[in-house]
Every structure is written in C-alpha cells, then in structure tokens.
Amino acid sequence: MKDILENFAQGKISLEDALSSIKLLSCRAVGEIAKLDTHRADRIGIPEAILAEGKNKEDLVKIALAHLEETGSVIVTRISDEQFVAFEKIDLPEGTICDKNSIARTLVLRIGSKKSSMGKVGILAAGTADIPVSEEAKIVAEEMGCEVISEYDVGVAGIHRLFPSLEKISDVDAIVVAAGREGTLPAIVAGLVDVPVIGLPVSTGYGVGGSGLAALHSMLQSCSVLAVVNIDAGFVAGAYAAKIAIKRSYQQKQF
C-alpha cells in the first residue's frame, strides 16, 4: 500500500489507478479479517439461520444447502409444513442429520454430531402460548452446544408455580424468560436470580398493548436489571443466552 501511495505522490500513477489499487488491496485485507472473524465466530458458534417465512420452496432449499455445505450446519426458522416437505424430497449430503421441531417451526440440518455441551441455559415460558418461541430459543442454544433446561407454563397467575421451576434451573449461566400479554414474568425472575435474564416478549394478547407490545414495554420499563430482545425473537434470545453461557463455560475450562 505504501508503494501505491508513493507512486501516486510522485505522479507515476493516476489518482483513479491509485484508488483502484488501494481499494482492491484493502478489500482483500478486510476479506482476511473477515475470514478470521468467521473463524472466531465459529468458535463461539452462532449457527447460520434462515427465516423461511416469505421464501419460496426452491430458494429456501438452495440457500439452506449452501449454508450447510459451507459451515456444516444450518437452522431454518418459521418453516411451514409445505416448505418442510420440500426438504424431505431432496437428497441431503451423506451424513446429514435433519431435525424438525414442529412446535418451534424449526428445521436443523447438520453434518456430523452435535457440539458437546459448553454451558447451561435455562428457558422459562409464562404460558402455553409462549412455548413455540421458547422452543425456537432452545433449538438454537442447543445447536450452539449448550445444555438447555426448560420449564413451561410457570406464569405469575399462580406465583407458587414459579419457585419449583426456578429450583430446577438453579445452576444455569443465563435464563431466557418468554412472556406475552402484560409480560411481567421476566422482571420477577430477574429480581430473584443472580444470572443474567433475557426478556423475550411474545406476540399474544388482543386489544390495546396486544401483539406483544405491552410485554415489550413492561420489560423495558422494569425496575429489575433485565435486557430484552424483540417480540417473538426466539432465535436471538436463545443465541444471546448461549453466548453468555459458552464464554463462561469456555473460561472455566481454560483455567
């Protein structure tokens, strides 16, 4: 790069040529960083995910296979029955494991065995309507190599249902709490445990504040120390919890 700049300074090459050369050079440099970043990212392990919603079957299969080939695994989220059938009809690469979760509406394709457990994540769902996004969170956290302990239907309506559930997840590194309607459960849990809690608002409830809005706003307004993800963003919640858990587990192993 120094050469280019010197040549440019001495007028040996035109500005346009200098720019082109440098741009090319730096794109390559950026490319190298990016590749290594990919390697690092690979260690922490957020898998490639594809939102199936709104994609036609052919494109979806094509993109999924490309990711599978490149990284060894891929998660398809919000997959429809019809889209799933399209995957059944094709020949997957040899050794590909194909896990469908019809509640979470996810499909995991993976070549080789799952990652070994690298941390523990807890997932709580306030009501039955909060289970699908909770399962989506679970799938991604597991795929990232975490052990996941989930407890569903522990909503505040009967706060006594909460305590035994908290007991069961007492040694996790991070907890995702999914809740719709008024969405109070995450704040209550965050007030009771000493691991980071991720609030996952769910698009339930009708009328004003429905579709998860009241839940999201409650979590953002909460006096508890709580971080949130977007409404129904089960993938992000699960991956964030795993990110906390894995790093922690990784450090424990290092020392």
Enumerate residues 76-115 that contact its own copies by CB under 8 A: none
Long-range contacts of 127-131 (CB under 8 A, 24+ apart): 127/153, 127/155, 127/179, 127/180, 127/181, 127/204, 128/152, 128/153, 129/180, 129/202, 129/204, 130/178, 130/179, 130/180, 130/200, 130/202, 130/204, 131/103
- Our finding on whether 9 is near its own copies (CB under 8 A) is no
Mind giving me the DSSP string for 199-229? EEE-S---STTTTTHHHHHHHHH-SS--EE-
Tell me, residue by residue from 15 to 54, as one string, x for binding to its own copies by CB under 8 A and - for no binding.
---xxx-xxxxxx-xxxxxx-xx--xx-xx-x-------x
Footprint of its own copies on residues 150-189 (CB under 8 A)? Answer: 155-160, 163-164, 167, 173, 181-184, 187-188
**What six digits make up the tokens of 136?**
């989506």
Footprint of its own copies on residues 185-204 (CB under 8 A)? Answer: 187-188, 191-192, 194-196, 198, 201, 203-204
Tell me, residue by residue from 55 to 74, as one string, x for binding to its own copies by CB under 8 A and - for no binding.
x---x---x-----------
Q: Scanning the structure block, which residue is given the tokens 């970043």? A: 37
Mind giving me the DSSP string for 90-109? S-PPTTEEEEEETTTTEEEE
- Classify strands 106-111 and 73-77 as parallel, antiparallel or unpaired: antiparallel
- DSSP single-letter state for residue 118: -
Residue 97 or 205: which CB sits closer to its own copies? Answer: 205
Residues in binding contact with its own copies, number by CB under 8 A: 94
Question: Measured from the CB of residue 101, what is the shortest distance to its own copies in angstroms?
Answer: 15
**What six digits make up the tokens of 46?**
């957020």
In whole angstroms, what separates CA 203 from the centre of its chain?
A: 18
Residue 36 or 97: which CB sits closer to its own copies? Answer: 36
Residue 109 or 226: which CB sits closer to its own copies? Answer: 226
- Our finding on whether 213 is near its own copies (CB under 8 A) is yes
Residue 87 or 235: which CB sits closer to its own copies? Answer: 235
Residue 63 or 92: which CB sits closer to its own copies? Answer: 63
Q: Residue 10 and residue 1: Cα distance in Å, rounded?
A: 14
Q: Which of 40, 46, 71, 34 is nearest to 243 (CA)?
A: 46
**Which member of 123, 124, 125, 226 binds its own copies (CB under 8 A)?**
226
Q: Which stretch binds its own copies (CB under 8 A): 79-87, 93-101, 105-113, 247-255?
A: 247-255
- Our finding on whether 134 is near its own copies (CB under 8 A) is no
Question: Measured from the CB of residue 89, what is the shortest distance to its own copies in angstroms?
Answer: 22
Residue 95 or 207: which CB sits closer to its own copies? Answer: 207
